[in-house]
Amino acid sequence: MLAPPRQQTTPLQDSGVNFLRTHHRVNYARVTQRGEVSLRDFGRGFATISPSLTMHRKAVVLWLLTGAVVAGAILEQESAQDIFNNHFPPVSPNCSQSLTDLLLLRQEVRLDEMVKLLTDIRGSLASEGKKSTSTCPADFEAFEGLCLHLGPERTNWHDARKYCLSVGGTLVSGLRNAKIGRSFAQKSNADHMWIGGHDLFEEGRWEWLSGEAMPTGTSFWSYYLGVQQPNNGGDGEHCAVLYVPDNHNFHDFPCSWDCLPLCQVEVCA
């Protein structure tokens, strides 16, 4: 049967115990694993020590107390280290990799949120674009920022004006709008088209339906077959038209002739 393991003691504890064993027949003091000494046993032993050994006794006491303090300090240090290790375990070798993965994951989440936000913004802009092109009334077509409608039947200029009013617009009027209307007519390649210019109130003083003066000269009116428009034609040509043979450029016609009404509705910004 194996003997029980011997308790570990410090060199200072061993020297004190051997001294008591050799010079006194007393039960040597019990030294615990934590370096503590039973004072009762020491009292019994020291009671039989002769006066000549007083100095030795003091030295032994000092040695034993010192050993107990040192052992206690060692055990206290080891206990504190155990507590630290239990609450703060060593860093895993994969800790840095885990932290990198976490940071990358957060970046991916932020990128996903940004992509979603940009997608929503693009959808909103597309919706706004669709709204801007769908603000024209029914039967009107959005063309270069203007809503245009070409009447289906030829009529004189006065009836053409009334027709445009009936569908919620007016004959195309204004320099900018008239040029847009000309582009529209050239694209559609339809018949002659009435626009809202006339000199009904005074010969040669051309104006739009709004009362705004129309431009004169070659910057606006056509020069066709050697004749500068408007030329009045000797037959009371007092209404403006987009003339097909001249690539829908501006001419004056008799207001009683039949042409298609070109109506407009301006889009509010």
Same domain, 169 and 119: no
Encode pLDDT of 90-148 as tens digits: 555 555 666 676 677 667 667 667 777 887 787 767 655 554 455 899 999 999 999 99
The confidence score (pLDDT) of residue 265 equals: 95
Residue 159 has pLDDT above 50, yes or no: yes
Q: Rounded distance, CA 185 to CA 264, Å?
A: 13
For the chain, what is the mean pLDDT?
75
- 54-87 vs 11-23: helix axis angle to the nearest 10? 150
Same domain, 188 and 154: yes
Q: Is residue 146 part of a domain?
A: yes
| Per-residue DSSP letter, 216 | -
Q: Are strands 237-243 and 227-228 parallel, antiparallel or unpaired?
A: unpaired
Encode pLDDT of 177-234 as tens digits: 999 999 999 998 889 999 999 999 999 899 999 999 998 888 889 999 999 999 887 6
The confidence score (pLDDT) of residue 37 equals: 45
φ, ψ of residue 48 in degrees (nearest 5): -100, 0
β-sheet bridge partners, residue 208: 197
Rg (Cα) of the chain, in Å, rounded?
Answer: 57
Q: Rounded distance, CA 243 to CA 245, Å?
A: 6
Q: Is residue 65 part of a domain?
A: no
Q: Is residue 44 part of a domain?
A: no
| Mean local confidence (pLDDT), 18-27 | 46
Specify the higher pLDDT residue, 6 or 198. Answer: 198
| Mean local confidence (pLDDT), 76-87 | 58
Domain end residue (candidates: 130, 154, 189): 130
| Strand residue runs (E) in 179-235 | 193-198, 207-208, 223-224, 227-228
- Can you give the CATH number for the domain in which 164 is found? 3.10.100.10
DSSP H or E run through 253 = strand 249-254
Q: Measured in whole angstroms, how far is the alpha carbon of residue 135 from the centre of its chain?
A: 30
Residue type, 249: N
Q: How many domains does the chain have?
A: 2
Same domain, 191 and 123: no
**Weakest mean pLDDT among 1-5, 22-26, 157-161:** 22-26
What pTM, to 2 d.p., does this model score? Answer: 0.52
Dihedral Cα 59, 60, 61, 66, nearest 10 deg: 90
| Mean local confidence (pLDDT), 227-253 | 90
Domain that holds residue 218: 141-265
Q: Rounded distance, CA 151 to CA 205, Å?
A: 27
The confidence score (pLDDT) of residue 194 equals: 98
